[in-house]
Amino acid sequence: MNDLIQDYLGDKNEGLKPLVTFFLNLVMQYESEQQAGAKRYERTKDRVARRNGSKPRTLLTKLGTLTLTKPEFREKSFEPAVFVKYSRVEQALINAILKSYI
């Protein structure tokens, strides 16, 4: 965590990249659990899909290219809100992250 803080204090744009990447990966993890009906490795009768690993996906932002880890399902496709086509939500996301640390 200290490394993230030092990166942010040294160069705000480069320091934000790992924070945004971490946050977006958490968002996709949460969204995949909601769509699957269970957490990863959890056994439940409410599960509607099983995870099939993940794959790297890139996201172009004003901060530069972020490499995210997109969860995959066996039974159905998974298109997280992070990768909605033609979506421009990155500035709102960055503002929300900055407000949470201030």
pLDDT above 90 (res 56): yes
pTM: 0.69
Kindly report the average pLDDT of the chain as a whole number: 76
DSSP 8-state symbol, 75: S
Which residues form the domain of 12?
A: 2-101
**Assigned token pair, 48:** 């509607």
Q: What is the mean pLDDT of the segment spanning 39-56?
A: 75
Number of domains in the chain: 1
User: Environment class of residue 28 by beta-carbon count within 10 Å: exposed (0-12), middle (13-18) or buried (19+)?
Assistant: buried
d(C-alpha 54, C-alpha 68), whole Å: 10
